[in-house]
């Protein structure tokens, strides 16, 4: 999430009641999660296992639960609960509407047709010559390009599935990101595409999604990607251009799939994949899978 205008370390510290380590005038441009964080942004960390990763990331401000040596050129915000305070910063600078307030800041391009039953949030932009079918839900801050088709009952911009266990209950990370649908995308019926926690979930130009597909928060789908029905892609994945994903594929969080890859039906992806054709509950190269099957049959 990028702030409307740059803030200072002191301003952020006062908002959340954290202790500063660094120049109080240190500039802060926004917040982000570790996998998308950029220079000038805040990242949070609340477990020693991930301290080094956060401190050595592109983030220039680290919201952390212990005072540690601050890397050169960076600053710390020391908090007793970084998860809670990350939510505080995000909601301080991003208004949460949840379809409870009158529509405003809606832009719809020429030639776009929207069924009267569709529900649209605030600060939504829809390009030209789009078709929005019945019962589509478009969440706050969603950006849709030109010549996009979104079929019935699809939801764009639902909350991220991002929680922590706290006092025996699940505590939500509030999603202040959005969804971006680029030009010439087609999305089938009953799909769900979650908005980013602090950044954008992106469906690249020319991609086509079948029915009943789930795309998790902050995932980036490349250009001309084809995804068949009942595929589930977790958050923070990167699917490069011209990948083909057949039905009921399941993908773990944070994996990258190289351009031109083919994932055959019911494959499970739990690691990064180089270009190739894959199959199996723990996806392996298809030819290798077939050779293994032949060997197993010959053992009988």
Residue 299 makes CB contacts below 8 A (sequence gap 6+) with none
Last residue within a domain, chosen from 35, 69, 93: 93
Q: What is the mean pLDDT of residues 68-87?
A: 96
- In a shared domain, residues 137 and 186: yes
Choose the final residue of a domain: 93, 127, 160: 93
Band (100; pLDDT cuts 50, 70, 90): confident
Eight-class DSSP state of 175: P
Indicate whether 70 and 170 sit together in one domain: no
Facing residues of 57 across strands? none
Q: Can you give the pTM of this predicted structure?
A: 0.94
Average pLDDT over residues 34-62: 95
pLDDT tens-digit series, residues 251-277: 999 999 999 999 999 999 999 999 999
**Across 173-213, where does the E strand assignment appear?**
178-181, 186-187, 192-194, 200-203, 208-209
Q: Inform me whether the pLDDT recorded for 287 exceeds 90.
A: no
Q: Is 118 exposed, middle or buried (0-12, 13-18, 19+ CB in 10 A)?
A: middle
pLDDT (0 to 100) of residue 297 = 79
Contact between residue 46 and residue 83 where contact means Cβ atoms under 8 Å apart: yes
Residues with catalytic function: 217
Domain, as residue range, for 195: 107-288
Composition of the chain by helix, strand, coil, percent to 5: 15, 30, 55
d(CA 14, CA 7): 11
Q: Do 85 and 196 share a domain, yes or no?
A: no
More confident site: 100 or 209: 209
Q: Where are the beta strands (DSSP E) in 23-121?
A: 27-31, 41-45, 61-64, 75-78, 107-108, 113-114, 119-120
| C-alpha distances in Å from residue 35, one per residue of 57, 61, 64, 163, 253 | 9, 15, 17, 17, 11
**Within-domain flag for 207:** yes
Reply yes or no on whether the pLDDT at 294 is more than 90: no
- Per-residue pLDDT for 191 more than 70? yes
Tell me the two tokens of residue 56: 């050595």
Q: What was the pLDDT predicted at 17?
A: 97
Q: What is the mean pLDDT of residues 187-209?
A: 98
The pLDDT of residue 300: 61
Tell me what the mean pLDDT of segment 216-220 comes to: 98
- Claim to verify: residue 122 and residue 260 sit in the same structural domain: yes
Do the Cβ atoms of 90 and 82 come closer than 8 Å?
Answer: no
Six-digit token pair at 293?
A: 């099957």
**Mean pLDDT over each residue of the chain, to the nearest integer:** 95
CATH number for the domain that contains residue 46: 3.40.1390.10
Instruction: Copy the structure tokens of residue 106.
Output: 């809606």
**Of 93, 127, 161, the domain-final residue:** 93
Answer whether residue 158 shows pLDDT above 70.
Answer: yes
Number of separate domains in the chain: 2
Q: Are residues 127 and 254 in the same domain?
A: yes
Indicate whether 78 and 203 sit together in one domain. Answer: no
* 120 inside domain: yes
Question: What is the domain-level CATH number for residue 200?
Answer: 2.160.10.10
């Amino acid at each position: 999430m990028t702030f409307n205008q740059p803030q200072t370390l002191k301003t952020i510290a006062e908002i959340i009641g954290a202790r500063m380590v660094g120049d109080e005038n240190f500039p802060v441009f926004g917040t982000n999660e570790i996998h998308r964080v950029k220079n000038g942004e805040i990242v949070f960390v609340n477990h020693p296992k991930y301290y080094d990763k956060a401190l050595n990331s592109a983030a220039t401000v680290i919201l952390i639960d212990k005072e540690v040596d601050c890397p050169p050129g960076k600053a710390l915000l020391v908090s007793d609960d970084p998860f809670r305070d990350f939510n505080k910063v995000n909601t301080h600078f991003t208004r949460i509407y949840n379809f409870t307030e009158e529509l405003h800041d809606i832009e719809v391009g020429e030639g776009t047709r929207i069924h009267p039953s569709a529900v649209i949030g605030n600060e939504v932009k829809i390009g030209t010559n789009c078709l929005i079918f019945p019962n589509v839900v478009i969440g706050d801050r969603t950006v849709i390009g030109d010549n996009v088709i979104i079929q019935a009952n699809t939801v764009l911009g639902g909350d991220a599935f991002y929680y922590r266990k706290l006092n025996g209950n699940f505590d939500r990370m509030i999603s202040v990101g959005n969804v971006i649908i680029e030009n010439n995308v087609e999305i089938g019926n009953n799909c769900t595409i979650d908005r980013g926690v602090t950044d954008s979930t992106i469906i690249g130009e020319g991609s086509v999604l079948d029915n009943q597909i789930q795309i998790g928060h902050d995932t980036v789908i490349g250009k001309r990607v084809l995804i068949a029905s009942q595929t589930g892609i977790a958050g923070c994945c990167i699917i490069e251009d011209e990948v083909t994903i057949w039905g009921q594929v399941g993908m773990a969080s944070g994996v990258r799939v190289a351009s031109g890859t083919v994932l055959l039906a019911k494959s499970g992806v739990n690691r990064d994949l180089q270009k190739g054709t894959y199959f199996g509950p723990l996806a392996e190269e298809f030819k290798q899978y077939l050779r293994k099957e032949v060997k197993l049959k010959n053992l009988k």
